Amino acid sequence: MKSRTEGRILQLVVVTGITSVVSQLLIIREFLSRFQGNEFVIALILFSWLVLGGFGTWAAGAASSRILPANRIRLALLSMLLAVLSPLTLLAVRVLRDVMFVTGSAVGFYATFGYILATIAPFCLLLGFVLPYSLFCARVLEPGFSGTRIYIADNIGDMSGGALFSFLLVFFATPMQALVIVNAALLVSAFFLIPAGQHHRLALGLAAAVGIAGLTAMLWTEAPSLHRPAGELVHYEESRYGRVEIFKNQGQHTLFLDGRPVFSDQNLFQAEESVHYPLSQLDRVKHVLLVSAKGGMMRQIRKYDPASVDYVEIDPAITRALFQYDMLRKIPGLNVIHQDARLFLSGSDKQYDAIIVNLPEPETFQINRFFTTRFFAQARRHLTDNGIFSFHTNAPGNYISDIQAKKISILHQTASAHFSDILMLPGRRLYFLCAQRPLDTDIPARLAEKNISTKYVRGYYTGNVTPDRIGQIKSRLQTDAPVNTDYMPRMVGIMFSQWFAEFESTPAVFTALLALGLAVYLLRSRSEEFVLFTTGAMTMGSEVLVIFAFQVFFGYIYFEIGLIITVFLAGLLPGAVIGEYGRNIGRRLFIVTDILLITAMVAFMAALWFAGDVLPESAFLVFGGIVSLACGIQFPVALHVGGRENPAAVRAFSADLIGAAVGTLTVSVVLMPYFGLIWTAAALIAMKTFSLTFVTLTYDK
């Protein structure tokens, strides 16, 4: 009877793990579609999630002794509450945004951070609470119940949740449907925690039934809760890459990708500028490659009568919607390719007369890949001798700020390594035209020669793209500007600075508070917690690093992100089993696993540095597996060293969560954008070396 109940507790922990990961992934996606979709926001969510979880865990330790002594009925009720809070959190993220902020406006760093904390706090605190509380419940039945078993169950749940979402739910369910499915399972699991015949079972059954009814009712909130910037929502799709919405307003269709308007069928400026600036430079246009597109572009390209237009768009949901609503026209020779553009080029021998990049600002690592020296070199290899390569960024307007000057200089410097002539045209956006031959600034004259008519370029060019404005941009170029590379994504750092500048804020206050909080925590922590903290930081830091490196070399991160996350969770399980068996070895096992972590990171970095281009996918996964294995081994050992009492388990869970939170944040928003891949790895190695040195020095034989 006792073991059956323990089994049900473990089962509940597994299901909780599944719902927590599915909820986390969906809430991250929701934030990305409602706020800035950059790494800062992702890191803030993960950080808040983990820290709040850590607080919840700590609270469980404090509350379980007096206020809320552990028992299964309370655990079942708390789990049911968790199941309801999950979709409510998603709804809150969606709906409160327009209550708290001006509809249609961007939100700054601190406001975003505050909003994240406020909306996810109830769910995350409770989530952090129930994990150790489950352990305490199990220990009521069996005082010697190992915390590692809960840890293992939680890992199984996390891993299953990651796989369930990445390989199934993301394809077949809307966010609310996905949450209803997993949380209904949690309600049922919580109900079955109480064996048949016990007097609270009926009440719990009623609660579960009400919960399931409530969850079902939430399915009807899906469409009404989506944002309404202006107009009627005529198309909504959750693709594996993000949220695609089309709004119709008085005949105009606008496609929003993750909450931002990216295509409009009435934006003539962009269509004409992005097509005619580069193509007018060519004597003959035979083959064109478009890396993404803008509304109305095809109509403009057709004026050159090209033999082929290869249009690469990674998300089929976007092209489907664009063609369905006539925002892009199918023209003769058009070939739509649903692939990552870098991957497509690496597998193609085709030479193009023009390669036109139509991407948003490089504010994420993913977009930054199309503004680096490696991509520019790749584009150059696929151009004909007279071919032209074009990309654009936000125009500096009437004044070139220092941040803008730096951004333009880096892009110019990066392109200069591959092209002998670079023409910068400050139109509605700043266009970079790159070629191996002299380029002409008199676009209207070239269009007139070709007898190509335009509405915008013809009349506005001479007033907007004046020699004076071109000259001012050239005069602000910094000749010593660094190059933007895959390893060192400088544009991401610039875009972060730009974001802060727009909101007249600085990350300094946040950094200072974080450092202070961290110092207080580390000073109060015990040695085994310190090791777990550094390992948590190393694991999450490595995960971010692997995701980043993977997309640099393979580009198709979206397909593999579920796999990477799963691998990073998968190692924890065998690791925990090994740790549980070897826990009596004590701190020596810390030393061994720390050495393993450092060695793995050094080897991985060396492999990337010397053979990044030929490294197989499996190498990334093996590295992830080793890191999570080491992390998994250390956890039971820390539990053993710290003592078997409940507070020790709470401290261990908290250390792991807080370390993971700090690792995610530091790597994503400080190390990677400002110091690059190699220095990030060096920082992680240094941190673990410090941990190793400390464990070795304090090792009591």
Partner 1 sequence: MTNNLSRRNFLLTCSGACLWAALGGGTGLVRPAGAAESQKSVGRVHVFKDNAPDELWKWSREAFSYEKLAGGKVTCNVCPNHCTLSVGDRSICRSKVNMDGKLYTLAYGNPCSVHVDPIEKKPLFHFLPQSRVFSMAATGCSFRCLNCQNWEISQVRPEEVRHYDLFPEAAVERALRTNTRAIAYTYSEPLTFFEYMMDTARIARQKDVKNLLISNGYVNREPLLDLCRVLDAANINLKSFDDKLYLKLNGGRLQPVLDTFKTLDEQNVHFEMTTLLVPGYVDDPDMIRDMCKWITDNLGVNHPLHFLRFYPHYKLDRLPPTPVPAMEQMREIAMEEGIRYVYIGNVPGHEANHTYCHNCEKMIIERQGYEISAAGLSGGRCRFCDTEIPGVWNEKDKT
Residues numbered 516 to 555 that lie near partner 1 (CB under 8 A) are: 516, 518-519, 522-523, 527, 530
- The answer to whether residue 335 forms part of the interface with partner 1 (CB under 8 A) is no
- Kindly give the interhelix angle for 2-34 and 39-65, rounded to the nearest 10 degrees: 150
- Separation CA 373–CA 394 (nearest Å): 20
Query: Using an 8 Å Cβ cutoff, are 39 and 669 in contact?
Result: yes
Query: Using an 8 Å Cβ cutoff, are 518 and 394 in contact?
Result: no
When binding is defined by CB under 8 A, the residue of 335, 386, 420, 506 that contacts partner 1 is 506
Please give the residues from 381 up to 400 whose contact with partner 1 meets the rule CB under 8 A.
396-399
CB of 219 to partner 1, least distance (A): 26
- By beta-carbon proximity to partner 1, the closer residue of 147 and 259 is 259
**Among the listed residues 315, 264, 307, 263, the one whose alpha carbon sits nearest the alpha carbon of residue 289:** 307
DSSP at 370: G
Query: Using an 8 Å Cβ cutoff, are 683 and 55 in contact?
Result: no
> In the structure encoding, which two tokens stand for residue 386, read together?
């007279």
- Separation CA 308–CA 523 (nearest Å): 65
- The answer to whether residue 254 forms part of the interface with partner 1 (CB under 8 A) is yes
Instruction: For residue 583, give Cα distances in angstroms to 279, 643, 659.
Output: 67, 12, 21
What is the pattern of x (binds partner 1, CB under 8 A) and - over residues 141-180? ----------------------------------------
Query: Using an 8 Å Cβ cutoff, are 555 and 343 in contact?
Result: yes
Please give the residues from 86 up to 105 whose contact with partner 1 meets the rule CB under 8 A.
99-105
When binding is defined by CB under 8 A, the residue of 47, 109, 145, 151 that contacts partner 1 is 109
- By beta-carbon proximity to partner 1, the closer residue of 255 and 492 is 255
When binding is defined by CB under 8 A, the residue of 174, 308, 351, 505 that contacts partner 1 is 505
Stretch that binds partner 1, among 7-15, 368-376, 610-618, 693-701 (CB under 8 A): 693-701
- By beta-carbon proximity to partner 1, the closer residue of 266 and 324 is 266
Contacts of 94 (CB under 8 A, 6+ apart): 30, 34, 225, 226, 227
Stretch that binds partner 1, among 154-162, 191-199, 325-333, 499-507 (CB under 8 A): 499-507
Instruction: Identify the bridge partners of residue 232 per DSSP, sorted by sequence position.
Output: 248
- The answer to whether residue 196 forms part of the interface with partner 1 (CB under 8 A) is no
- By beta-carbon proximity to partner 1, the closer residue of 468 and 480 is 468
- The answer to whether residue 358 forms part of the interface with partner 1 (CB under 8 A) is no
DSSP at 398: T
Instruction: Identify the bridge partners of residue 421 per DSSP, sorted by sequence position.
Output: 435
When binding is defined by CB under 8 A, the residue of 71, 177, 185, 229 that contacts partner 1 is 229
CB of 317 to partner 1, least distance (A): 19
DSSP at 292: S
- The answer to whether residue 420 forms part of the interface with partner 1 (CB under 8 A) is no
- Kindly give the interhelix angle for 527-553 and 587-611, rounded to the nearest 10 degrees: 20
- The answer to whether residue 508 forms part of the interface with partner 1 (CB under 8 A) is yes
Please give the residues from 595 up to 654 whose contact with partner 1 meets the rule CB under 8 A.
none
- The answer to whether residue 461 forms part of the interface with partner 1 (CB under 8 A) is yes
Contacts of 363 (CB under 8 A, 6+ apart): 36, 37, 38, 491, 492, 495, 496, 499
Query: Using an 8 Å Cβ cutoff, are 655 and 663 in contact?
Result: no
- The answer to whether residue 451 forms part of the interface with partner 1 (CB under 8 A) is no
What phi, psi does 355 have (nearest 5°)? -120, 120
Q: What is the DSSP string of 234-267?
A: EEEEEETTEEEEEEEETTEEEEEETTEEEEETT-
Q: What is the DSSP string of 1-48?
A: -HHHHHHHHHHHHHHHHHHHHHHHHHHHHHHHHHS--SHHHHHHHHHH
CB of 471 to partner 1, least distance (A): 11
- By beta-carbon proximity to partner 1, the closer residue of 352 and 431 is 431
- The answer to whether residue 504 forms part of the interface with partner 1 (CB under 8 A) is yes
End-to-end CA distance of the chain: 42
Size of the site for partner 1 (CB under 8 A): 73
- Separation CA 159–CA 57 (nearest Å): 20
- The answer to whether residue 697 forms part of the interface with partner 1 (CB under 8 A) is yes
- The answer to whether residue 247 forms part of the interface with partner 1 (CB under 8 A) is yes
- By beta-carbon proximity to partner 1, the closer residue of 461 and 568 is 461
Stretch that binds partner 1, among 183-191, 213-221, 374-382, 507-515 (CB under 8 A): 507-515
Please give the residues from 398 up to 417 whose contact with partner 1 meets the rule CB under 8 A.
398-399, 401-402, 404
- The answer to whether residue 445 forms part of the interface with partner 1 (CB under 8 A) is no
- The answer to whether residue 475 forms part of the interface with partner 1 (CB under 8 A) is no
- The answer to whether residue 266 forms part of the interface with partner 1 (CB under 8 A) is yes
- The answer to whether residue 307 forms part of the interface with partner 1 (CB under 8 A) is no
Q: Looking at this protein, which amino acid is placed at residue 247?
A: F
- The answer to whether residue 234 forms part of the interface with partner 1 (CB under 8 A) is no
Contacts of 16 (CB under 8 A, 6+ apart): 79, 82, 127, 130, 131, 134, 154, 157, 186
What is the pattern of x (binds partner 1, CB under 8 A) and - over residues 554-573? --------------------
